[in-house]
Chains A and B, each alone.
Chain A
Amino acid sequence: MPDLADTSRPAAMRAVLSPRGVKRTAILAIFGAAVLVGPLVLDPYTVNILVRAFFVAIVAVTVDILWGYSGYLTFGQGAFFGLGAYTLAITFSELGFGPWQAIAAFGGAMLLGALVAALVGWLSFYPGSTPLYATIISLVLPIVLVQLIYSGGNFTGASSGVVGYFSFTFMTDTWFRIAGIATLAVAGLAHVLVSSDAGRLLRALRDNEMRCAYLGLDTPRLRIVVLVACAAVAAAAGAGYAAFGGIAAPENAGFIFGTQLVVMVALGGRGMLVGAIVGALSIELASAYLSSILPFMWELLVGIAFVAVIVTMPAGLFGLLGAAARRWAPWAFTAPEPVTLRTAAGRAEVAQAGTDDIVLEANDVSKSFGALTVLSGVSLTARRGELVSLVGPNGAGKTTLIRCLADGREASSGAIRIGGTATDKLPPHRVVRLGLGRKFQAASVFETLTVADCLRIARAGRDKPSLVTTSSELALPAAARSVVESSGLDARLEDEARHLSHGLKQALELAMVLALEPELVLLDEPTAGLTRAERQRFADILTDVVERERLCVLIVEHDLDFVRQISSRIVVLHQGELALDGSVDEVVNSQLVREIYSGHQVEKTGEVTQ
């Protein structure tokens, strides 16, 4: 996980003084002024409503970070809010009110929220967990929590909640300013975080979690860390809510509240902090004014609006506004800063050392699904500087073999060592850290990130990204840089990946994989769908990189001409077994390969290879 340690003071100052920093400061000042002046112009009832709405808006921001930015649909943030509210209410009830108790209450709320979030995170996120499963667990949390509250007798006040404790005796106006500034502070911090280099990881997680894992990122841990932070903030907001309202009630922790938060964020605009805040404030305000007039109609209207927004404008109200503003008032948006390419230091000496090193050793690897064996007893060795092609007809087990090499949990039996270390039971991100890079068959990039950001994510494991600042530089190792430059991606660094052509996406993914500085690269049909010219360029880049960096490349390929052109060795798979492993000439001229490709039944492999 990236940390704050590397942000030196000058960098922070520079961030504030940059055009973007000036804009941020101005917006913050405007909202800050509104919060300070608010109580003077609003009627007391609205002020009261808004105080509570501010605390709700803070949780809505955490929902937006988790759902809008990182793609984890959660109904559980309400539970952390409630946890915080109860921590404060119970602390003040049991220990009385005072400065130490207040610190204990807020600190305890955040700590408890973080601990519960760690547990929930452990349950929800692990290599291979599905988003749906995590969402369902987020539903279980509030249900279990509310049940515990109900069963807590006088300690938790059961269904009636904890009430009757002494709390801060601020005037409502003071509360308004405290809560408003707290909301601004949380939103401001969240904004800095999500637009920082590290914050891009969140959107990368949302766009393509598998790609993240295969870039060596420990995605479950990342998600758990984000959840823990968001839970602590939500719990603090809950504590503030209870300090103001003088009560902690089960509904503050319940699943209905959790779903309301999602509604607020969806209506306001997910993936946009301002959308979450405005969504929360306006729903709270509107329901305060409308629910007495239209108690049932109101909920029906919210339901209809919610479905309509989800179906027709998933970006929410602010997404729509934002799109309109971009169109009609483009001058209001600062153009992205141009990105400068740089070569990352470090790799050179490794490339020269021990050129014959064995990078990959697979021993007797098998894979079966129940009774069906798709890979049996495959043994394979590959060294630095080798470009090994993996060929065979459809269903021969090529992709399965790639999967077994890249994910230590895939193989049913056998041993795989990468860079000398056994991959047994290791999840992909750990295998990647052993020096493996995997490019998928269909280009797998981060669709909503820019080209530069996609590449930065790939470097996140090596160059710790900043939690605060946004870099205008992109440091890539030589191999990745040469792919970027020779493919023409260097001219499109600021474009979002989804706008790239198929060929450029393939190049981008290759560059991302090379940015990992791997020793072993797995390429699954990298040329599928490319034009002849693109294919030729790809071959050039590949052979060049292998030669210069002394990489070991394992490539699955159908096009035998292409294979012949680039390979230093060819491995033939047939019906899940290794049929042939030899030099290009040996393989291309072998009877076996001709038979396989012409579809004839082949004898038992061992006899033919001899």
Chain B
Amino acid sequence: MTHRLPVTLLAAGAALIAGAAQADDPIKIGVPVGLSGANSVVAPSVVQSAELAVAQINEAGGLLGRPVELVVADDGSGASGAQRAFDSLIFSDQVDALISMQTSAARNAGLPILSRGNVPYIYTSFYEGGSCHPNMFVNAWVPEQQVPPVVDHFQAEYGAETYFLIGSDYSFGRGMLEFTREYIEAAGGEVVGEEYLPMDGTDWAPIISNLRSSEADAVITSTAGGAPNVTLTRQLRDSGVNIPYANLAVDEGTAGDMGDVAAGIYISASYITGIESDENAAFLAAMEEHFGDELSTPNELSVPQYEGILAYAAAVEATGSTESAGIIEALAEVSVDGPRGTIVMDHQRHAPLTMYLGRVVEGGGVELVTEFDAVSPGEQCPDL
């Protein structure tokens, strides 16, 4: 921290400061992420992919002749931590953009500060949809993209007509399953049960009993990541539930680690490590080379982070500046060819994505069942 800037200048935002910066000053990208708290499990992989993206940009000569610098801040996976992280990144480190995956609570908490600081923000986490801010772009999936592959497949493959939905009681869980219910009903199916367990709940027995007595054809779950996923899956299997089962909230890695209890579970994602493309192969090889033994396996949350930084770089190159207004305009147009394919955030600040339906196989690992090209995010922010 140097001397204090006049209030008015501060309020005008970081854009002005950035505009006044010297040519060899680095362009700073802020990554508020859950180094502690619920997201700390996945945070290392997210930080690594961000580091790789920045390293690659700098190896290629930086942006506009300026180096790119990454500033990581812990958002504690929650609202107060996120406000601190946004404050420190925007006002103390004076970053040019924020690019990160966060919990919905953390993202929401950051938005008012985003307004004050007026920097562009690329949100790289899948979420329940409908979060809109003039400075925010999303390059990960929303329910409109994730749910249809599952339901369509269950109907076509198993002729499933009745569904039982189980979730953790939080925004993501409820948001996903509300959409799932609407989609199932629109597709002519029936939801015979929709139950939620508190976030920290561990005993799914009464819900499983209701599931059994409902005699549903298929079960779709959307729990909090980590522990609830594992407890629900274990207890479902332990109770002898063998109907088709899709988990909307489990990532490839956790599903694989769960071992045989997870076998047969369907997952729907915009990224799985088995995507066969040159970009994905190159990305995985670069990660391997860059991090070696320290590598955290790339996943559904870390790859969009990588692509988000590439998208920002493309926007900077396209406008020739880091000035917020221009970048925000450009972000809606630039396209990135990344491990997940070609991505443009041109659908009301969201991006059409290729979605993959996978199934966990015996002994861990995910096999690709089928893929769906250019699934639209639907109506997310009609006002923007």
Q: Do A and B come from one complex?
A: yes
From known contacts A147-B198, A292-B85, infer whether A249 and B74 are also in contact, taking CB-CB under 8 Å.
no
Residues of B within 8 A of A159 (CB): 103-105, 169-172, 199
Residues of B within 8 A of A292 (CB): 35, 72-74, 85, 88
From known contacts A52-B83, A245-B83, infer whether A43 and B88 are also in contact, taking CB-CB under 8 Å.
no
Residues of A within 8 A of B7 (CB): 171, 173
Interface 9-residue window, one of B107-115, B234-242, B288-296, B368-376 = B107-115
Q: Could you tell me if B84 and A288 are in contact, using CB atoms closer than 8 angstroms? A: yes
Is A48 positioned at the interface, with any CB of B under 8 Å from its CB? yes
From known contacts A245-B112, A251-B78, A292-B73, infer whether A160 and B105 are also in contact, taking CB-CB under 8 Å.
yes
Q: How many residues of A contact B (CB 8 A)?
A: 37
Q: Is the interface of A mostly helix, strand, loop or mixed?
A: helix
Q: How many residues of B contact A (CB 8 A)?
A: 41
Is B10 positioned at the interface, with any CB of A under 8 Å from its CB? yes
Closest CB-CB distance, A257 to chain B, in whole Å? Answer: 8
Question: Which residue of chain B has its CB nearest to the CB of A246?
Answer: B112
Q: How far is the CA of A390 from the CA of B4 in the complex (A)?
A: 79
Is A157 positioned at the interface, with any CB of B under 8 Å from its CB? yes
Is B81 positioned at the interface, with any CB of A under 8 Å from its CB? yes
Is A40 positioned at the interface, with any CB of B under 8 Å from its CB? yes
Question: Which residue of chain A has its CB nearest to the CB of B175?
Answer: A158
Question: Which residue of chain A has its CB nearest to the CB of B34?
Answer: A295
Closest CB-CB distance, A391 to chain B, in whole Å? Answer: 60
Is B202 positioned at the interface, with any CB of A under 8 Å from its CB? no
Residues of B within 8 A of A299 (CB): 36
Q: Could you tell me if A160 and B104 are in contact, using CB atoms closer than 8 angstroms? A: yes
Chain B 110-145 near chain A by CB (<8 Å), digits 1 or 0: 011100100000000000000000000000000000
Is A374 positioned at the interface, with any CB of B under 8 Å from its CB? no
Q: Could you tell me if A249 and B80 are in contact, using CB atoms closer than 8 angstroms? A: yes
Closest CB-CB distance, B39 to chain A, in whole Å? Answer: 11
Q: Could you tell me if B169 and A43 are in contact, using CB atoms closer than 8 angstroms? A: no
Residues of A within 8 A of B5 (CB): 44
Question: Which residue of chain B has its CB nearest to the CB of A43?
Answer: B1
Of A43, A251, A291, the residue contacting B92 (CB under 8 A) is: A43
Chain A 278-322 near chain B by CB (<8 Å), digits 1 or 0: 000000000010011001101100000000000000000000000
Is A142 positioned at the interface, with any CB of B under 8 Å from its CB? no
Q: Could you tell me if A45 and B11 are in contact, using CB atoms closer than 8 angstroms? A: no
Interface centre among B11, B91, B108, B169 (most CB of A within 10 A): B108
Chain A 168-195 near chain B by CB (<8 Å), digits 1 or 0: 0001110000000000000000000000
From known contacts A151-B169, A291-B74, infer whether A48 and B79 are also in contact, taking CB-CB under 8 Å.
no
Closest CB-CB distance, A154 to chain B, in whole Å? Answer: 10
Complex interface residues of chain A between 29 and 69 (CB less than 8 A to chain B): 40-45, 48-49, 52
Q: Could you tell me if B105 and A161 are in contact, using CB atoms closer than 8 angstroms? A: yes
Residues of B within 8 A of A43 (CB): 1, 4, 92
Q: Could you tell me if A291 and B81 are in contact, using CB atoms closer than 8 angstroms? A: yes
Closest CB-CB distance, A502 to chain B, in whole Å? Answer: 52
Q: How far is the CA of A173 from the CA of B10 in the complex (A)?
A: 11
Of A48, A150, A160, A247, the residue contacting B91 (CB under 8 A) is: A48
Q: How far is the CA of A246 from the CA of B79 in the complex (A)?
A: 11
Of B10, B88, B111, B199, the residue contacting A163 (CB under 8 A) is: B111
Chain A 136-152 near chain B by CB (<8 Å), digits 1 or 0: 00000000000100110
From known contacts A159-B171, A251-B105, A252-B80, infer whether A288 and B88 are also in contact, taking CB-CB under 8 Å.
yes
Subset of 9 A-B contacts with CB under 8 Å: A45-B88, A150-B170, A151-B169, A158-B169, A163-B108, A163-B112, A249-B109, A251-B79, A292-B72
Binding site for A on B (CB under 8 A): 1, 4-5, 7, 10-11, 35-36, 40, 72-74, 76, 78-81, 83-85, 87-88, 91-92, 103-105, 107-109, 111-113, 116, 169-172, 174, 198-199
